[in-house]
Structure 1
């Protein structure tokens, strides 16, 4: 009885409805992420094929790639296949990205001198996909994410986030197992961002009957039904049972049913497939076995290379496999009908034979000049201990992959270590390479353990320095300050450590002290590093040590010294230009020193320059912090709408990159803005992941700002004592470590609450400490203002408070200015100068108005009413929630540029913000304008302009308070 091709999917009506819904939305310009999960053979590929067919029928672009179990040594493999990234591509962008995938460009090196191109490649891939979406809606399918390398998962995650407002359906298929930690994180991230998850289940009995009807044209009879039960509702197994019965001639028509004539089939799909192999000629079987070793999709050319036979002979011998429906064709490759078919053939090979075939394949590919990742993928499985040629290839492949797939590099080098004979002299060399790869992959615990194990035993002299450098870097990242200092000092005793390396070790140790809160020790260590670097004449290390020194001294309140250090670093870097020093990003550190010195406009320019250079170099190691500190500058000056968008995107990017240095302060700023607007729940949410550090023995960098924000929440909830305790804990920690950087934040509210809670002696000690710190920064207005403010509160004296207001006006820091006005108003009013107090509160009210700080406006309004001011109807204190007037200036600018057809990346370059921030702005714009696609947004922009309504705010600056006569 002959099989009929299935006309469509059986038992997947609900899933097809989801696909139809997403496609209809896609044609309107909406984006979506679809995740299809299910066991092998359950129909994931068939479902996404239905999606692809429907998309093709509508004239949409379909891009499709697969991850493969034997290709995890190939960074961005699935993405490169889907987007056809080839060096010889006629598309310059695709060709350029392919160039990055095979080694990058000159000058694109990371902080340790090796290329670090992952994030550069991801940004280019995102831009390529967005450009494709601008031409026609796109369906991008990446199958078998459970086999994907980490770089491909990173690209999938970025596309899902950044391209959430372009006409794109991003599809991923995966099995419930195996799953890496990175894949679990990807799934959690996508689902929380709104991805649709479809879980394919086994078919119930009535759908099994329908599938048989579709395949055979008849429903199953009783015996056939009982045989099909062993398939457990798995569609692939069901079809293979029917196919095997048909090949055997064991199907017949009987009384309107399709019935089996025998019950002799194996009890597993694997055995079912292997049974069919027995009918194949020997030559065909050998080719199938070789093909199974190469993977589930194999080019005829590769199979011919491995078998060392002409391609025409290979094609002829495969005809029987095609006739037996074990193989299909796809593009320029032959593919097993399913990975389970390939897996069955592969696992039937005895392990020694399987390993031998892999080793032969590696040798054949090497002779043919195949890329390193292809050779390495087979050496991973085929080489035996003692195969020194395999070790050499694996090391070469690891070096080649280091820029684009650190986790791939780790796997390759681990295997290389395993293959070396015990006691081989190269073991230390390979282990040193492994330790560095572990560090670059973020596995710093293991990196330090590997490095320590070698350093603590006799080892080859040439690995001593690389291992020491890896170890101190890993210990710094782990915030293991005491061990870091010990190891750094030990490294400095090494007679083979070059002076530039000594400077690097000490600078890393300085940063380790900084991030653990020991700024005095950090300064001392940075000065030692500087002295050695200067003696050695290493411009790069001089610049790097000056950057570390600037961070250490500014934390102690010596802002002019920090500024001098970063100015000197810039001069050394650019006069003349030193490329290595540029990669230490001196503009970024200069921006921090400028911001800390109240030169906020100059700081903004420095941050923009640093971001531009980072993108130019393809250097992403500090890019997240650059974005977050640029957002901090906007927060400080009161550009809160833009700050909120940039913090939101920056925090997400930091979590994606695994960089936490700026997380504390960023979360604190988000919480402060939420509190200002009366959103206590939003503030609590922002602090949820960081507030526990307030009671930790070793809190991380920036915990003081978390205490500052958390104290606002506590005070708003009517718990001033708890608020006071939070501030005091942070203050005491800083006093112990001679940290003065956070005085501007902690001291004024701590003095105010101490006085309110009758802790006068404590308030006096705080004031004395703040005044001592102010002596170190005579030219920093906000530092001077904090000292005057605290003194005025302590002495209940209007004069220093009024001086604080005058100083705060010059600093451009919104919180300092408005807070000084409020404090001064309270004391001035008690001194009998109510008119001056009213003016001060009105000044604070005006500043709060500009950032829609409704909760603080209410507090100031209550103070004015207490002074007898009756305020008339005031203009809207905040933008409306919807419509053009609800958009911020940046959201308007993004809307205009998107309407012109610019991609997120192009918009970001035009506005000097990241594509991630552009996407955040767009998400807010879509919500406010009730649109769901870029096309709808462009239409709204066009209609508004055609109607003579320029898209501008009628009130970009909110009107000030309308105070009635008698104020």
Structure 2
């Protein structure tokens, strides 16, 4: 019986009630050993009438075996796997060893399959998924289960994690709510003591026991069993020292040590054998000369229970106490026996780990077995498990060359698992042993990639450049990728000499590979752009884009898209970015999306597609945080700050910009810092603080590498001209206008030329002013940037009103006001309304677009469905379940006043958003 916990039980009851109505939720139940986590999960199972209950648990000795816990959870419902998408099904069955490995590099494919399978099971009724001792989950299972838990929304699924606070095995899941359990109160503790002891304790004894155990239920239960009736009644004195929660493991161990020696050994075998399979435990015990009868005293003492064919411990703490209390030689002997008891064909991974645990020095056969196990894990997307197996295989390997290769494999796997801090020391160890240039080049590539995403870009550049030299002849394609990454870093830090060096080396590579040719043109084009030679840059970057059209590689498409974006070719850049993102989604390559979605979201922001940009930036930020990519996360925050500024969300803008700047400046990420600074300037400009906006934009224009960026300064130049003219800084306005004109005339972009004309209008007077503004509006008409167009209308209307041409001013101000209202650009809408009132009319408040009332996620779903995608396809693209897609789609229909998918497909969402 669960005593007390009224508040905690109510939390569980609320989740279950919501799931009965097709809601979903997840909760991490956290606390010390014995505090009642398992009991609360048991309460959830007892209360889940009508639910399909799925269970799993982390086991300390199983934490290196990939997908072990996930298999516990999902194995009972694998019969439903035939109804999930084929690629996901193959990945999941391959992960469980029930089908061929799919060779997926991206670990999220199995995670998405787990989510899809849970959602499929929930079609038949609500599902409760209980995962106890989550601190000991193997990495692959933890990734998959937390991935699913973050994304359940409308399926009727509840996921509960029981987590013991253990510094050696931390389990942190940002984004999931937590319930931290504390000790029982006196009344509940008294009821527990009476139940376990069979008699009610005195109030004084109860209070003493609660104080000494801090209300820990397991400690109280153990005390109730060990104290006499007279001690509980207060007639006889209590022991001088009572065991507290921290001593529980020792209490259990002391009880085990009172059992016969053979029974203790058999319990150690069971503690080391993670599946609880009685057949294997007894077979291993037999190899140690111990018969099955040795199990009887353990059952009698309540240490274990046998539910054929499974042996289970009374409490997980019993297992860990036995295993941790054994000596190294005892654990080694048990590991050898378990390895001998296992079939090498049926369970090669467990056998390999038992052999490794028994090894006391280099062992080539065991190392080879672990290496093969690591390869299997990697092919199944279990990269954390692969890293552990490669690392242990390296430790058992004699030859330094092979050991270096296995350490490099471990580092690569750790990085793919999203564990950069684990990968770095493995790379250090591999580098000290590696002699062959090819291996040293591979090590440099992994290190450089990690530093580029999570560390200091300048360090990444040096590593990538030096490493590429080692493999130029042997592996020109990898060398090209390394030099391209180095070129991207030099571009971001605005380091022209470094960019030129990367470009020259790329040009010298053998050009048999298409990727090499695209990379060479892109990097040399970026170098020309940074050097001010925009004409040459345009040729190179457009050639790169043309060549990239023939590839399906997301990274190559992204680079080509970035090049066209810097040339002001919005439509082509968005098309290339979208192709890259679509390809990554089709591969379930979630780890690639943060870097892809950031520039796409930026460009969508600048082209006035604010809702779509917000959806992509929020998705990209969430994925960047999940995959621990700090640098792309800063990029997304800078874009979200820009969007918040345009929409007048001051607090959101400042929070996002501050976080982006703190990381970007510290890591010398110039573009990210520049966008965040631009966002803060726009916030000031929209709020009517032109002087503050001028200070920020002038500082941005003068910022050095790492704090600003030339291209972002060019994109923000029109804003600098505007605030400079408003604050009387005419020279700064002219210089910014000149810089913008030089770039715009070379790339010949209509929207850029429109901004040049607008700037000329701001600097002119009289008839010239009208001529330039009219020219700007004519160019805007086909430029495709509605926010910029409306701002030109606003500025022209303001100028006309000042010259007392009220009728002419009203026409432009009305158009500006309507566009700002449609875009949700509240500060500019208010400015246009104020100007209109000054002309003698009141702006009519436009009903907000129903499309703009959609949340970012609803908008993503609506756009994909409007393109003809099924719910299952949308679910795969957005890493959601089909039921969640259906839930959001119903809200889309309600908000848009539609009744069918066909109506949505006929509705031009993009037209309404631009």
| TM-score, scaled relative to structure 1 | 0.80
Give 1:300's aligned residue. 278
1:226-252 Cα offsets, whole Å, 9 max, x none, are 99677664333443455567xxxxx67
Question: How much has 1:869 moved relative to structure 2?
Answer: 3.7
1:654-704 Cα offsets, whole Å, 9 max, x none, are 222233555455434433443344332232233231134686582443322
Deviates more, 1:722-731 or 1:258-267: 258-267
Give 2:299's aligned residue. 322
1:130 and 2:119 are equivalent in the alignment: yes
1:871 and 2:848 are equivalent in the alignment: no
Contact 2:57 2:131 in 1 (8 A): yes
Return the alpha-carbon distance in structure 2 between the equivalents of residues 689 and 806 of structure 1.
Answer: 39
Please show how residues 309-458 of structure 1 align to structure 2 within 5 Å: 317-329=294-306, 332-365=309-342, 367=344, 369-372=346-349, 374-379=350-355, 381-402=357-378, 404-420=381-397, 424=400, 426-442=402-418, 444=420, 447=423, 451=427, 455=431
Give 2:192's aligned residue. 211
Contact 1:547 1:586 in 2 (8 A): no
Secondary structure (helix, strand or coil) at the match of 1:741 reads helix
Question: How much has 1:848 moved relative to structure 2?
Answer: 1.0
Return the alpha-carbon distance in structure 2 between the equivalents of residues 36 and 276 of structure 1.
Answer: 29
1:617 and 2:587 are equivalent in the alignment: yes
Return the alpha-carbon distance in structure 2 between the equivalents of residues 957 and 612 of structure 1.
Answer: 17
| Cα 1:86/1:307, change in 2 over 3 Å | farther
| Cα 1:106/1:473, change in 2 over 3 Å | farther
Give 2:216's aligned residue. 234
1:567 and 2:560 are equivalent in the alignment: no
| Cα 1:319/1:95, change in 2 over 3 Å | farther
Contact 1:740 1:773 in 2 (8 A): no
Secondary structure (helix, strand or coil) at the match of 2:162 reads strand
1:33 and 2:9 are equivalent in the alignment: no
Secondary structure (helix, strand or coil) at the match of 1:721 reads helix
Return the alpha-carbon distance in structure 2 between the equivalents of residues 920 and 835 of structure 1.
Answer: 49
Please show how residues 424-573 of structure 1 align to structure 2 within 5 Å: 424=400, 426-442=402-418, 444=420, 447=423, 451=427, 455=431, 459-460=435-436, 463-477=439-453, 478-481=455-458, 484-485=461-462, 488-489=465-466, 491-492=468-469, 497-518=474-495, 521-522=498-499, 525-526=502-503, 528-534=505-511, 537-546=512-521, 558-559=537-538, 561-571=540-550, 573=551
Please show how residues 617-766 of structure 1 align to structure 2 within 5 Å: 617-660=587-630, 662-664=632-634, 666-692=636-662, 698-716=668-686, 719-733=689-703, 741-743=711-713, 745-766=715-736
Return the structure number with greater helix share: 2
Contact 2:458 2:489 in 1 (8 A): yes
Give 1:963's aligned residue. none
Structure 1 residue corresponding to 2:14, chosen from 21, 24, 34: 21
Structure 1 residue corresponding to 2:167, chosen from 175, 178, 185: 178
Contact 2:554 2:581 in 1 (8 A): no
Deviates more, 1:662-671 or 1:502-511: 662-671
1:862 and 2:831 are equivalent in the alignment: no
Secondary structure (helix, strand or coil) at the match of 1:318 reads helix
Please show how residues 240-251 of structure 1 align to structure 2 within 5 Å: 240-243=222-225
Return the alpha-carbon distance in structure 2 between the equivalents of residues 845 and 166 of structure 1.
Answer: 42
| TM-score, scaled relative to structure 2 | 0.84
| Cα 1:705/1:387, change in 2 over 3 Å | same
| Cα 1:105/1:496, change in 2 over 3 Å | farther
Give 2:760's aligned residue. 791
Question: How much has 1:291 moved relative to structure 2?
Answer: 0.9
Contact 2:283 2:341 in 1 (8 A): yes
Question: How much has 1:36 moved relative to structure 2?
Answer: 1.4
Secondary structure (helix, strand or coil) at the match of 1:325 reads coil
Question: How much has 1:376 moved relative to structure 2?
Answer: 4.7
Structure 1 residue corresponding to 2:790, chosen from 808, 818, 834: 818
1:50 and 2:81 are equivalent in the alignment: no
Return the alpha-carbon distance in structure 2 between the equivalents of residues 814 and 942 of structure 1.
Answer: 22
Secondary structure (helix, strand or coil) at the match of 1:135 reads coil
Return the alpha-carbon distance in structure 1 between the equivalents of residues 448 and 69 of structure 2.
Answer: 35
Return the alpha-carbon distance in structure 2 between the equivalents of residues 498 and 958 of structure 1.
Answer: 47
| Cα 1:209/1:734, change in 2 over 3 Å | closer
Give 1:777's aligned residue. 747
Return the alpha-carbon distance in structure 1 between the equivalents of residues 261 and 606 of structure 2.
Answer: 76
Give 1:112's aligned residue. none
Contact 1:591 1:604 in 2 (8 A): yes
Structure 2 residue corresponding to 1:801, chosen from 773, 792, 796: 773
1:290 and 2:269 are equivalent in the alignment: yes
Return the alpha-carbon distance in structure 2 between the equivalents of residues 499 and 349 of structure 1.
Answer: 53
Return the alpha-carbon distance in structure 2 between the equivalents of residues 560 and 896 of structure 1.
Answer: 34
Question: How much has 1:299 moved relative to structure 2?
Answer: 0.8
Deviates more, 1:224-233 or 1:347-356: 224-233
| Cα 1:723/1:314, change in 2 over 3 Å | farther
| Cα 1:375/1:270, change in 2 over 3 Å | same
Return the alpha-carbon distance in structure 1 between the equivalents of residues 493 and 566 of structure 2.
Answer: 20
Structure 2 residue corresponding to 1:202, chosen from 183, 186, 195: 183
Contact 2:65 2:385 in 1 (8 A): yes
Contact 2:448 2:463 in 1 (8 A): no
1:77 and 2:68 are equivalent in the alignment: yes
Deviates more, 1:31-40 or 1:717-726: 717-726
Contact 1:585 1:610 in 2 (8 A): yes
Deviates more, 1:122-131 or 1:387-396: 387-396
Question: How much has 1:723 moved relative to structure 2?
Answer: 2.0
| Cα 1:364/1:106, change in 2 over 3 Å | closer
Question: How much has 1:892 moved relative to structure 2?
Answer: 8.3
Contact 1:42 1:202 in 2 (8 A): yes
| Cα 1:331/1:595, change in 2 over 3 Å | farther
Return the alpha-carbon distance in structure 1 between the equivalents of residues 272 and 697 of structure 2.
Answer: 63
Question: How much has 1:325 moved relative to structure 2?
Answer: 1.8
| Cα 1:701/1:944, change in 2 over 3 Å | closer
| Cα 1:786/1:365, change in 2 over 3 Å | farther
Contact 1:479 1:516 in 2 (8 A): no
Return the alpha-carbon distance in structure 2 between the equivalents of residues 633 and 203 of structure 1.
Answer: 55
1:146-182 Cα offsets, whole Å, 9 max, x none, are 112343333344323322333222211111223656x
Question: How much has 1:205 moved relative to structure 2?
Answer: 4.4
Return the alpha-carbon distance in structure 1 between the equivalents of residues 667 and 635 of structure 2.
Answer: 19
User: RCO greater where, 1 or 2, for CA within 8 Å and sep 6 or more?
Assistant: 1
Return the alpha-carbon distance in structure 2 between the equivalents of residues 68 and 460 of structure 1.
Answer: 40
Secondary structure (helix, strand or coil) at the match of 2:10 reads helix
Contact 1:203 1:234 in 2 (8 A): yes
1:745-783 Cα offsets, whole Å, 9 max, x none, are 3111211222333332222222222222123202x1122
Deviates more, 1:768-777 or 1:556-565: 556-565
Corresponding residue pairs, total: 892
Return the alpha-carbon distance in structure 1 between the equivalents of residues 665 and 423 of structure 2.
Answer: 29
Return the alpha-carbon distance in structure 2 between the equivalents of residues 892 and 489 of structure 1.
Answer: 45
Structure 2 residue corresponding to 1:850, chosen from 807, 822, 832: 822
Give 1:63's aligned residue. 54
Return the alpha-carbon distance in structure 1 between the equivalents of residues 358 and 401 of structure 2.
Answer: 23
Return the alpha-carbon distance in structure 2 between the equivalents of residues 428 and 894 of structure 1.
Answer: 47
Return the alpha-carbon distance in structure 2 between the equivalents of residues 738 and 40 of structure 1.
Answer: 51
